[in-house]
Structure 1
Amino acid sequence: MSADRDGRGGDETRVGRERFRPADHPNDHFLLTTVVGSYPKPAWLTDVRERHEADGDAVTDDEWTEAIDDASRLITGEHERAGLDVVCDGEMRREEMVEFFARRIGGYEFKGPVKVWGHNYFDKPSVVSEVTYDEPWLREEYEFTAGVAERPVKVPITGPYTLATWSFDEVYDDDAGLAYALADLINEEISGLVAAGARYIQIDEPALATTPEDHAVVGECLERIVAGLPDDVRLCLHVCYGDYGEIYPKINDYPIDEFDVELANGDYDQLDVFADGDVDPDLGLGVVDAHTPTVEPVAEIEANIREGLTVVPPEKLTVSPDCGLKILPREVAYAKLENMVRAARNVEADLDSGEIDPDALRTGP
């Protein structure tokens, strides 16, 4: 843990990543493989959703629940078939990452879509009264996914800073005040998820990349989020795009176990930000591009993973796509994950055999 969480240190917590190693794992080394969150929805699910929303009699609520349960079961199995160590259901029950949560948080209202770029619109929510936690947001999603999965399940949650800055605010004095209030609600939500068995939580803060000067606000939000959580809860912070040099090394003070970054899309131009060798949390490294339909060959992904080994040792490297994969064709998303896992297992084998010397990679020639 980068900073003490109720007095506990980091090394003991990171040993806990071994709990995600499958019993049949083929290598001594273990590069944890997972996803960031979203995944392409089956075409039939989109059709059923549209018919349910247009006419409740055409598709009843019970039929809609059955459809999303089937999709969740299908995509969770698809992640496991690709070989991932930690899976999720691809956010089959969610649409937009802010709207989903705003519709479940007391104090929010929707007053109509706003234009964001081109002909694209975002149903931007408004905070019209103090935010409240009225009912669980993700417990049903987690319990169903965990019930059908054979591998551990990660729970992605949109972070309080992003929820605050991507909303209209008619109540709080500033974004920070709203973000802190939302962080307290997220702590309550995570406490319920932990009681249900969840042990791997990812906080998504894409807004931090666009306003890195607010890193202290995000840090305070994370402190509120982890307050009172058990020692064995793994907390990941995902940030995509932006200038990581404005965030690191400040993230070393965050109470997180893993810092997940999008670097494959930029050909690892910013990897040298972490080259001082002092990255405290584990590094979640994007090794396949979530924005291109080209499926990276296994050898290319192996080279990307080796890039990560130049800044952190194998026991601190998590391998994932750059970001959520929902904008890609489903067959492409699956092929990327399958190749990613093969590449990770190949690199592990090379580490076991000594063909890759991680100490030499980090110290240079």
Structure 2
Amino acid sequence: MSVSHTLGFPRIGNKRQLKFAVEAYWQGKITQQQLLEEGQQVRASNWQTQQQAGLDYIPVGDFAWYDHVLNHSLMFGAIPERFGDASATDIDTLFRMARGQAPSGQPAAACEMTKWFNTNYHYIVPELKKNQTFKLDSTLLLAEVKEALALGLKTKPVLLGPLTWLWLGKIKGEDFDKLSLLDDLVPLYASVLSQLSDLGIEWVQIDEPILSLDLPPSWQQAFEGTYNKLQAHPIKTLLTTYYGPLGDNLGLAVNLPVDGLHVDLVEGKEEITPLLDRLPRYKVLSAGVVNGRNIWRADLTRLTDTLATVRERLEDRLWVSSSCSLLHSPVDLDSESDINHQTRSWLAFAKQKCTEIAVLTRNINGTATAADKAALTDSDLAVASKAASSLIHKPAVQGRVSALTESMTYRATPFKTRKPLQKEKLDLPLYPTTTIGSFPQTADIRRTRRQFKKGEISLQSYETAMEKEIQTVLQHQEALGLDVLVHGEPERNDMVEYFGEQLDGFLFTGFGWVQSYGSRCVKPPIILGDIERPAPMTVKWSQFAQQQTSKPVKGMLTGPVTILRWSFPREDIDQSQSCLQLALALRDEVVDLESAGIDIIQIDEPAIREGLPLRKKDWATYLDWAVKSFRVSAGGVKDSTQIHTHMCYSDFNEIIEYIAAMDADVISIEASRSDMELLNAFEQFHYPNDIGPGVYDIHSPNVPESSSITTLMQKAAEHLPPEQLWVNPDCGLKTRSWPEVDAALKNMVAAAKTLRSCS
């Protein structure tokens, strides 16, 4: 019989229980024991959901208090010295590494955080040093496995593979070859496999998603030696890859000494024939056919036919699964009571995807029930109704994209011509200070928005409350002495959802939360059809804010690429078309903001780097339409209007020419966690426009000293002339408290004044 399983399940809980418990622990509202008990309940619920869906194997070890990469760093004792004893693999050490602070232990600079492959999930980057020593502590993993076994579950523990963990790590201090650490790391994996085997585990899942990347020959060669060493144990290993096709790593992957290979047949569906031709006869193939990264219902009839053909070749060596972990999917569609029946029939969240996998498996095994056959019928009806729906296609929107001209994709003149005009108009000092956009979202703000959405307060009461908050935020900034202000975005629930709610072509959920990092969850909108802007979205709030002060107030928008990347996209058209539709809608907003007297407009694009295809041969195609979309959104304004953009947690070295081609007058980036190392790319490229390297980490509650900010900016000035530099935090301040924000910004402004006095 074929086997059903997933690579992982959302860890946040169906009502974000884990998020709230973790944050309560950080705030001292619950004890560590209460936190541990909540985590245990979330895990048990997740396992039960998958078991009830009919899956044969339940993944264990996919749970994390903050991030699964960080879990492995702790398990191997890869704890930087600033966090204390490397053997202290407790939960507070984990939190200090992730956010710089925990209920116990001394605060320290948090580890770097960056995007997980081409997703909006973030991981804590392992820090590696020459002659790194490792020490295994698998207590947490083994405890979770024992929990699952005690519940009578057929478990499949999950490990992040040794080569992927090393690849994701960053060298600190003296340079060296990371692969030199492999010989010391592999025995730890071997020990974990032995420990799991002693518990009676039959299969272990080892994730090696770097097999979907362009790997240097030395890394390709390292795979064979590593897995030769690990095969000596009686436990069976399922090697998993995802997020893309194997490409030139296909031959390597199929011949590795493992018992099974999982492949992403959503992103790499064209590889099924060569996989079947080259897979050894003893090896299991796990087919990832249900999309783990999107929310659309699977076409069960089509997939059943595909899998039946594969099963003819493999017989019982075929497993059925999601393309990747369901970490990127909301938990349960059953929570959505406000989506109409027809549209709801087009969707599947993590719980429903588990059922789809089980139904597909029983169908190809010949054990389908009446309910399984009904599920195929329902799937056929959903596919047909979606294809015929008038909600999807709008000829006027498609026509506007077709009518785009070359002149609409550029500013009228180059930056060197625009800069003096903007300088004269704005009259800003050297090292101008600003923030990225959002300010603390207090419980009162969230309550007011919630009451308005439920109809419990009037529009007038809601707007009065938001205007009062905007005035408060502006007063804070003026008192602190910031040069360019923001209105604080109290009216916005999320930087993508807010815009999607005002654009035609989007669908929204009430509980479609997914984890972005740590306790930070987002609720991505769903791009249902063609996109257009029926009315201005931000002009009223920006205009009100500008009327309250003589200082410039930035208009704040989320860019087209980020709205696309942080939404669940359509699958019936190329994503470039949705992006250009968004760009035109935002272009209208930008022009309206300028007409309303807003002289600085920020179009945030934090997601542009994460959208890169995994293979470099595909980069240019993506970057061409991504950069074009940004320029379309910004291209309708006068030379004297200053366009800003913001990007965070990205490595810009390999795409710096495209960043420059976006032609934003000012770009702000995350640079504090990397100690300004990210500026190397801008210096070497001779980046021509202005840049604000983030001077402190807003994801940590630690308040930076003015001296540390001054030092960071002095490092920045070693890379770029002071005339190009702005001073700002590395991201928005939405998740921070007012005392933290006031203290940090006070020190930031003081640092800017020090820098000016020294220039």
1:72 aligns with 2:441: no
After superposition, the C-alpha distances for 1:306-363 in whole angstroms (9 at most, x for unaligned) are: 1221122111111110000111111111111111111001110011xxxxxxxxxxxx
1:295 aligns with 2:695: no
1:168 aligns with 2:573: no
Deviation at 1:73, TM superposition (A): 0.7
**Distance in 2 separating the partners of 1:339 and 1:111:** 40
Are 2:449 and 2:491, in contact at CA under 8 Å, matched by a contact in 1? no
**Distance in 2 separating the partners of 1:228 and 1:317:** 25
Give the corresponding residue for 1:40. 440
Q: What amino acid is aligned across from residue 332 of structure 1 in structure 2?
A: E
Choose from 505, 512, 515 the match for 1:107: 505
1:9 aligns with 2:414: yes
User: What aligned pairs does 1:250-265 form with structure 2 within 5 A after superposition?
Assistant: 250-265=658-673
Deviation at 1:7, TM superposition (A): 4.3
User: What aligned pairs does 1:320-335 form with structure 2 within 5 A after superposition?
Assistant: 320-335=728-743
After superposition, the C-alpha distances for 1:198-223 in whole angstroms (9 at most, x for unaligned) are: 11111111211322443322210122
Deviation at 1:132, TM superposition (A): 1.3
Give the corresponding residue for 1:140. 540
**Distance in 1 separating the partners of 2:641 and 2:713:** 25
My pick for the range that moved more, 292-301 or 106-115, is 106-115
Are 2:513 and 2:524, in contact at CA under 8 Å, matched by a contact in 1? no
1:231 aligns with 2:231: no
My pick for the range that moved more, 200-209 or 318-327, is 200-209
Are 2:495 and 2:558, in contact at CA under 8 Å, matched by a contact in 1? yes
Give the corresponding residue for 2:656. 248
Q: What amino acid is aligned across from residue 113 of structure 1 in structure 2?
A: F
Q: What amino acid is aligned across from residue 131 of structure 1 in structure 2?
A: I
**Distance in 1 separating the partners of 2:635 and 2:678:** 32
After superposition, the C-alpha distances for 1:144-197 in whole angstroms (9 at most, x for unaligned) are: 100112310011211101111222334761221111111011111111111001
Q: What amino acid is aligned across from residue 95 of structure 1 in structure 2?
A: N
After superposition, the C-alpha distances for 1:231-261 in whole angstroms (9 at most, x for unaligned) are: 1111112110021113213222222211211
The 3-state SS of whatever aligns with 1:191 is helix
Deviation at 1:76, TM superposition (A): 1.2
Q: Report the count of equivalent residues.
A: 340
**Distance in 1 separating the partners of 2:722 and 2:670:** 18
List alignment gaps of at least 5 residues for structure 1.
23-28, 352-365
**Distance in 1 separating the partners of 2:629 and 2:747:** 36
Q: Which has the larger radius of gyration?
A: 2
1:152 aligns with 2:552: yes
Give the corresponding residue for 2:496. 98
**Distance in 1 separating the partners of 2:466 and 2:412:** 41
Deviation at 1:18, TM superposition (A): 4.8
The 3-state SS of whatever aligns with 2:528 is strand
Give the direction of change, closer, same or farther, for the CA distance of 1:50–1:188 in structure 2 (3 Å limit). closer
Choose from 604, 610, 626 the match for 1:204: 604
Give the direction of change, closer, same or farther, for the CA distance of 1:294–1:235 in structure 2 (3 Å limit). same
Are 1:136 and 1:192, in contact at CA under 8 Å, matched by a contact in 2? yes
Q: What amino acid is aligned across from residue 479 of structure 2 in structure 1?
A: R
The 3-state SS of whatever aligns with 2:467 is helix
After superposition, the C-alpha distances for 1:90-117 in whole angstroms (9 at most, x for unaligned) are: 1111111111000000111214533423
Are 2:411 and 2:631, in contact at CA under 8 Å, matched by a contact in 1? no
| TM-score normalised by L of structure 1 | 0.87
**Distance in 1 separating the partners of 2:725 and 2:638:** 23
**Distance in 2 separating the partners of 1:39 and 1:292:** 15
Give the direction of change, closer, same or farther, for the CA distance of 1:47–1:109 in structure 2 (3 Å limit). closer
Choose from 721, 724, 734 the match for 1:313: 721
**Distance in 2 separating the partners of 1:231 and 1:44:** 40
My pick for the range that moved more, 214-223 or 97-106, is 214-223
Give the direction of change, closer, same or farther, for the CA distance of 1:135–1:171 in structure 2 (3 Å limit). farther
Are 1:204 and 1:239, in contact at CA under 8 Å, matched by a contact in 2? yes
Q: What amino acid is aligned across from residue 65 of structure 1 in structure 2?
A: E
1:276 aligns with 2:684: yes
Give the corresponding residue for 1:26. none
The 3-state SS of whatever aligns with 2:727 is strand
1:192 aligns with 2:592: yes
**Distance in 2 separating the partners of 1:82 and 1:159:** 29
Give the direction of change, closer, same or farther, for the CA distance of 1:130–1:74 in structure 2 (3 Å limit). same
1:222 aligns with 2:630: yes
Q: What amino acid is aligned across from residue 345 of structure 1 in structure 2?
A: K
Give the direction of change, closer, same or farther, for the CA distance of 1:107–1:296 in structure 2 (3 Å limit). same
| TM-score normalised by L of structure 2 | 0.43
**Distance in 1 separating the partners of 2:715 and 2:542:** 33
The 3-state SS of whatever aligns with 2:448 is helix
Give the corresponding residue for 2:479. 81
Q: What amino acid is aligned across from residue 530 of structure 2 in structure 1?
A: E
The 3-state SS of whatever aligns with 1:235 is strand
Give the direction of change, closer, same or farther, for the CA distance of 1:45–1:115 in structure 2 (3 Å limit). closer
The 3-state SS of whatever aligns with 1:238 is strand
Q: What amino acid is aligned across from residue 708 of structure 2 in structure 1?
A: E
Give the corresponding residue for 1:266. 674
Give the corresponding residue for 1:350. 758
**Distance in 1 separating the partners of 2:445 and 2:640:** 35
**Distance in 2 separating the partners of 1:48 and 1:315:** 42
1:30 aligns with 2:438: no
Are 1:20 and 1:32, in contact at CA under 8 Å, matched by a contact in 2? no
Give the corresponding residue for 2:526. 126
Deviation at 1:274, TM superposition (A): 2.2
**Distance in 2 separating the partners of 1:104 and 1:172:** 23
**Distance in 1 separating the partners of 2:460 and 2:596:** 24
Give the direction of change, closer, same or farther, for the CA distance of 1:96–1:8 in structure 2 (3 Å limit). same
Are 1:72 and 1:92, in contact at CA under 8 Å, matched by a contact in 2? yes
**Distance in 1 separating the partners of 2:435 and 2:685:** 25
Give the direction of change, closer, same or farther, for the CA distance of 1:280–1:120 in structure 2 (3 Å limit). closer
**Distance in 2 separating the partners of 1:17 and 1:196:** 20
Give the direction of change, closer, same or farther, for the CA distance of 1:21–1:124 in structure 2 (3 Å limit). same
The 3-state SS of whatever aligns with 1:124 is coil
**Distance in 1 separating the partners of 2:571 and 2:757:** 55
List alignment gaps of at least 5 residues for structure 2.
1-408, 613-618
Are 1:265 and 1:322, in contact at CA under 8 Å, matched by a contact in 2? no
Choose from 166, 173, 178 the match for 2:578: 178
Q: What amino acid is aligned across from residue 639 of structure 2 in structure 1?
A: D
The 3-state SS of whatever aligns with 1:169 is coil
Q: What amino acid is aligned across from residue 482 of structure 2 in structure 1?
A: L
**Distance in 1 separating the partners of 2:706 and 2:558:** 31
Q: What amino acid is aligned across from residue 534 of structure 2 in structure 1?
A: D
Give the corresponding residue for 1:361. none
1:116 aligns with 2:514: yes
Q: What amino acid is aligned across from residue 249 of structure 1 in structure 2?
A: E
Give the corresponding residue for 1:354. none
Give the direction of change, closer, same or farther, for the CA distance of 1:190–1:10 in structure 2 (3 Å limit). same
Deviation at 1:276, TM superposition (A): 1.8
State the identity %: 28
